[in-house]
Amino acid sequence: MKAAVLREVGKPLQIEDVAIGKPAAHEVLIRTAAAGVCHSDLHFVEGSYPYPLPAVLGHESAGVVEAVGSEVRTVKPGDHVITCLSAFCGHCKHCVTGHMNRCESGEVRRGESEEPRLTQAAAPLNQFLNLSSFAEQMLIHEHACVAIRPDMPLDRAALIGCSVMTGVGAVFHTSNVRPGDTVAVIGCGGVGLAAINGAQIAGASRIIAIDMAKGKENLAKHFGATDFVCASETDPVAAVIEMTKGGVEHSFEAVGLKATSEQAFLMLARGGTANIIGMVPVTQKIELPAYMFLGEKRIQGSLMGSNHFPVDMPRLVDFYLAGKLRLDDMISRRIRLEQVNEAFAEMKTGGVARSVIMFDA
């Protein structure tokens, strides 16, 4: 099969022929239909986050099940599925206490003594985040995908696999936004737009979108923002505090920078919660004024929207088909696998929401 392989940090992905194994007892073989090009992939390409190489990248995807292992009970051949990088074992302390997104069990991956899922000329290739979806097929654990209704377009379904689940889940689960709450979202890329949309669905009374690009205003408001602050023209913290007469109850940082993470905390009202959902580089540290914690303000991380994806993702599909979740306008461009490096270049300009690789193109 064709796959996009990262061999060296800072270098373009290479489209190569890669061999894929057959499903073991709890594994599923999927024909990839669509894969979103996510900023998280770019972090690994640029080396902001380390990963063993060579690896087939990609982690936001949807497809059709081709074959299943002997013990698989959750999906069957022909099912349309969305994948999720937070594969779970189902019986560790995180899973049994309702935090399956935190599962760290090695059971969802093949052991060192087992044949690797991906190879090239008999040499192993690393599978990226349990998925490696920049490829024509995926071989994954059954607890890394969920079946969805067949009338859901798979290019839009792919977005639910990462950016939408991350943004909406952070609103619903991590921060528990309630009707009438006030919200600020820093960054209007795919994850930020999903958080804005999620806040609208949750019933937030005011949703302030913040971005460096003034041209993002109309898009942010289309996704549910009530207000827009252009951070390149004004201090976003001062603007939010003035607009809300004291700050917001929930803020969501969807950029992944030290400065914006600090801003997310500084714009909180008393008792507010700042949620860091962007991937801040591993070498960075966040600095906050300690006295502000006396106002019962909190800052916390969110891993894949604190999801329960086997339940959450089918519900998000229903939201989309009911006209509540705006996925159509999140896709800026549909591309071929061979154009993946172009998508990363466009991503750096900040002018696109999401490029989606279509494997039947």
Annotation marks residue 39 as catalytic: no
Range name among 36-40, 61-65, 239-243, 346-350 with the lowest pLDDT average: 346-350
Annotation marks residue 306 as catalytic: no
- Could you read off the pLDDT of 2-40 as tens digits, one per residue? 999 999 999 999 999 999 999 999 999 999 999 999 989
Annotation marks residue 38 as catalytic: yes
Question: What are the tokens at 293?
Answer: 């914690």
Whether residue 151 has pLDDT greater than 90: yes
What was the pLDDT predicted at 82?
Answer: 98
Going by pLDDT thresholds of 50, 70 and 90, the confidence category of residue 349 is: confident
- Closest to 164 in 3D by CA, of 353, 358, 357, 359: 353
CATH of domain 167-303: 3.40.50.720
Whether residue 351 has pLDDT greater than 70: no
Identify the active-site residue in 26, 39, 43, 143. Answer: 43
Mean pLDDT value across residues 109-135: 95
- Could you read off the pLDDT of 70-98 as tens digits, one per residue? 999 999 999 999 999 999 999 999 999 99
| Alpha carbon distance 319, 331 (integer Å) | 17
Write down the pTM of the prediction. Answer: 0.95
Whether residue 361 has pLDDT greater than 60: no
Q: CA–CA distance from 296 to each of 180, 263, 290 (Å)?
A: 20, 17, 11
Identify the active-site residue in 141, 162, 163, 302. Answer: 162
Question: What are the tokens at 295?
Answer: 């106002």
Identify the active-site residue in 26, 39, 59, 80. Answer: 59
Whether residue 187 has pLDDT greater than 80: yes
What was the pLDDT predicted at 353?
Answer: 72
CATH of domain 2-148+331-358: 3.90.180.10
**C-beta of residue 143 within 8 angstroms of C-beta of residue 74:** yes
Annotation marks residue 103 as catalytic: no
Mean pLDDT value across residues 284-313: 97
What was the pLDDT predicted at 354?
Answer: 86
- Closest to 111 in 3D by CA, of 31, 4, 1, 24: 24
Annotation marks residue 188 as catalytic: no
Domains of the chain, by residue range, sit at: 2-148+331-358, 167-303
Whether residue 350 has pLDDT greater than 80: no
Tell the burial category of 163 from Cβ atoms under 10 Å away from its Cβ (0-12, 13-18, 19+). Answer: buried
